[in-house]
């Protein structure tokens, strides 16, 4: 199971292109669906091939195009029954009047109409035709039948048509269709996660990125944290069915799908926001933020002017956010991170105890291939003694994969009934 919601992995779409001028838009649709991570196989009716060549779709989809029902060579590759089973969605775009009529009446005289009868997958049709043909009683009758049969009809847009008419019948833009399809799979994946997800019903709060400690109105102290690990964790927790709040320091990352993001700047503000989350009810607190250990004692009201050869700025200690939350009476399950350059395991195990955490994930940031700005990470996870769980080695992998394994580790620890500390 993958938790990355930014793209839809391992889902198969059979895109059926039928005869109509809108077929050219389907070429772009293949691109957009591929961008979203779908595997695409294209079926073309004979009519469609009068508008666009199969070669176009072969090049764009990266798969041979299916055109014939009774072609032994094609059937030997991936036969129509196999194709029907392969599909997680049969998307017919554009869907001609003729195709709608065939579907509505159960005809099976070509590859597409046979596929329609043979597949168990959801079927979506995006009708595209002349406005008068769309309005024709027979077309509307067929559409009603298809809706009753469980087919999802994507309504055509209104506007000027290739034939010169103005009215309903234009296929929606490929970007719009791709968005609708992606949203459908996200929702389906989400529904499964909510039902069976490892963190279903939990509110997870995650701190991420650096903090920024002002020196004067134009200068600050900060660090190189990019927030990637925290953002990957937010996506993984959401995909595992949790409600997720991400308290983010200044980073330039897009908010993961479904995640509530609260932007903060300083450590003090990050703590204040974290405490508010406790009031809202928080089950799991994950501290990935690289919080500045010190802040400027007195932030200058105006820009500090250049003067002597030396400038001394007094610093005072910032609150430890994760340790403060862990001390609260109604504390969530606490997860900390430790970035070390030496004695990694020893220091991490020490922090687990000192900060009263339930779990800590540590990594060796002296390794140039993992850590802060890298897209990959490798970690060792320790659990508090009362869980009686073995430490886990998470081998070098993408931050998304590491995030998924951390979600599993949290889930497993939560299964252990422990006495409150
Ligand atoms: O002590 P150290 O900074 O190495 O601890 C790292 C862990 O503590 C991380 O989980 C980090 O997010 C958290 N932390 C915090 N507030 C601080 C310092 C660290 O929440 N002021």
Q: What is the pLDDT of residues 210-224, one digit of tens each?
A: 999 999 999 999 999
Query: Where does residue 375 rank: exposed (0-12), middle (13-18), buried (19+ CB within 10 A)?
Result: exposed
Active site residue 163: yes
Sign of CA dihedral 199, 200, 204, 210: positive
Structure tokens at 43: 């079926």
Query: Is 256 near ligand 1, meaning CB less than 6 Å away?
Result: no
pTM of the model: 0.65
Structure tokens at 336: 């900390």
**Rounded-to-integer distance, Cα 237 and Cα 231, Å:** 10
Distance 417 CA to ligand 1 centre (A): 26
Query: Is 52 near ligand 1, meaning CB less than 6 Å away?
Result: no
Closest ligand 1 atom, residue 347 Cα: 4
* Rounded percentage of the chain residues whose pLDDT exceeds 70: 96
pLDDT at 190: 78
pLDDT at 59: 97
Least confident of 22-26, 42-46, 161-165: 161-165
Please determine, for residue 2, whether its predicted confidence score (pLDDT) is greater than 70.
no
Angle between helices 111-118 and 97-105 (to 10 degrees): 40
Closest ligand 1 atom, residue 360 Cα: 10
Residue with tokens 């862990």: 326
**Rounded-to-integer distance, Cα 153 and Cα 333, Å:** 46
DSSP assignment, residue 385? Answer: G
pLDDT at 6: 44
Mean pLDDT (the chain, rounded) = 92
- DSSP lists the bridge partners of residue 124 as 91, 152
Reported for 106-111, long-range contacts at CB under 8 A and 24+ positions apart, including other chains, are: 110/45, 110/46, 110/69, 111/43, 111/45, 111/66, 111/67, 111/68, 111/69, 111/80
Q: How confident is the model at residue 138 (pLDDT cuts 50, 70, 90)?
A: very high
Query: Is 326 near ligand 1, meaning CB less than 6 Å away?
Result: no
Query: Is 289 near ligand 1, meaning CB less than 6 Å away?
Result: yes
- How many residues are there in the chain? 421
**Rounded-to-integer distance, Cα 267 and Cα 295, Å:** 8
Query: Is 337 near ligand 1, meaning CB less than 6 Å away?
Result: yes
Test site for ligand 1: of 278, 287, 362, most ligand atoms within 8 A of the Cβ: 287
Q: Which domains are seen in the chain, by residue range?
A: 12-192 (3.40.50.1950), 197-415 (3.40.50.10300)
Distance 171 CA to ligand 1 centre (A): 53
Query: Is 291 near ligand 1, meaning CB less than 6 Å away?
Result: yes
Closest ligand 1 atom, residue 318 Cα: 21
Three-state secondary-structure class, residue 90: strand
Do 43 and 26 contact (CB within 8 A), yes or no?
Answer: no
């Amino acid at each position: 199971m993958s938790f990355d919601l930014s793209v839809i992995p391992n889902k198969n779409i059979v895109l059926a292109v039928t005869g109509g001028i809108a077929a050219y838009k389907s070429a772009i649709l293949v691109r957009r669906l591929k961008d979203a991570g779908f595997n695409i196989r294209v079926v073309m009716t004979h009519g469609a091939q009068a508008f666009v060549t199969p070669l176009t779709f072969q090049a764009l989809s990266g798969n041979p195009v299916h055109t014939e029902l009774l072609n032994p060579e094609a059937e030997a590759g991936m036969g129509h029954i196999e194709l029907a089973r392969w599909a997680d969605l049969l998307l017919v775009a554009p869907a001609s009047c003729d195709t709608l009529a065939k579907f509505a009446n159960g005809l099976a005289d070509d590859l597409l109409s046979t596929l329609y009868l043979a597949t168990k997958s959801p079927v979506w049709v995006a009708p595209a035709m002349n406005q008068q043909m769309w309005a024709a009683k027979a077309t509307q009758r067929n559409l009603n039948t298809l809706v009753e049969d469980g087919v999802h009809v994507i309504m055509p847009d209104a506007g000027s048509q290739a034939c010169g008419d103005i009215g309903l019948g234009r296929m929606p833009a490929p970007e719009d269709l791709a968005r609708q399809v992606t949203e459908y799979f996200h929702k389906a994946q989400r529904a499964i996660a909510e039902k069976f997800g490892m963190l279903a019903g939990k509110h997870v709060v995650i701190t991420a990125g650096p903090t920024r400690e002002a020196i004067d109105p134009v200068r600050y102290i900060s660090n190189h944290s990019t927030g990637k690990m925290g953002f990957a964790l937010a996506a993984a927790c959401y995909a595992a069915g949790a409600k997720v709040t991400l308290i983010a320091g200044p980073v330039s990352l897009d908010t993961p799908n479904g995640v509530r993001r609260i932007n903060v700047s300083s450590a003090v503000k990050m703590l204040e926001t974290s405490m508010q989350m406790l009031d809202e009810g928080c089950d799991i607190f994950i501290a990935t933020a690289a919080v500045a250990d010190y802040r400027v004692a007195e932030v200058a009201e105006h820009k500090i002017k250049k003067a002597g050869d030396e400038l001394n700025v007094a610093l005072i200690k910032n609150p430890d956010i994760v340790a403060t939350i862990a001390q609260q009476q109604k504390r969530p399950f606490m997860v900390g991170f430790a970035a070390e350059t030496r004695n990694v395991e020893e220091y991490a195990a020490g922090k687990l105890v000192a900060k009263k955490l339930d779990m800590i994930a540590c990594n060796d940031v002296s390794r140039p291939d993992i850590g802060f700005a890298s897209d990959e990470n490798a970690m060792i996870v320790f659990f508090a003694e009362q869980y009686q769980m073995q430490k886990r080695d998470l081998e070098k992998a993408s931050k998304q994969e590491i995030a998924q394994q951390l979600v599993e580790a949290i889930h497993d620890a939560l299964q252990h009934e422990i006495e409150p500390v």
